[in-house]
Amino acid sequence: MQDLTLYYNPRCSKSREALALLQAGGHSPVLRDYLEAPPTLAELEELVRLLGVPARALVRDGEPVYAELGLAEATDAALLAAIATHPELLQRPIAVNGERAVIARPPELALQVLA
């Protein structure tokens, strides 16, 4: 099996639920606490590719810094640069397994990367 990684915030209930679901299935994902170890711009670009979504799908637009930075009309490149600088903007949790990735909202979606 490929390396199973969960972009994770331990204070987020959805992150904890996704982790519990993966563990209940006998999986031990590598936990990437993205607030402690923010993804690089290259890693974010790879997440966009794996997810097959526009960069805006990775953004938590309810975070105060989203409004502070005026990101409502930002380009994909500007959004990814903002996430790299302000990792609290990253949507969570994100499960990655090889060439498969999913934003696990709801948490049950994390199981899709196992198929």
Q: What is the pTM of this model?
A: 0.94
- Mean pLDDT in residue range 82-102: 97
pLDDT single digits (tens) 14-54? 999 999 999 999 999 999 999 999 999 999 999 999 999 99
Q: How many CB atoms sit inside 10 A of residue 4's CB?
A: 18
- Coil, strand, or helix at residue 84? helix
* 113 close to 96: Cβ distance less than 8 angstroms: yes
Distance CA 72, CA 49 (A): 22
Q: Where are the domains of the chain?
A: 1-34+92-115, 40-90
Active site amino acids: 12
Given a contact cutoff of 8 angstroms between Cβ atoms, the answer to whether 99 and 50 are in contact is: yes
- Beta bridge mates, 32: 7
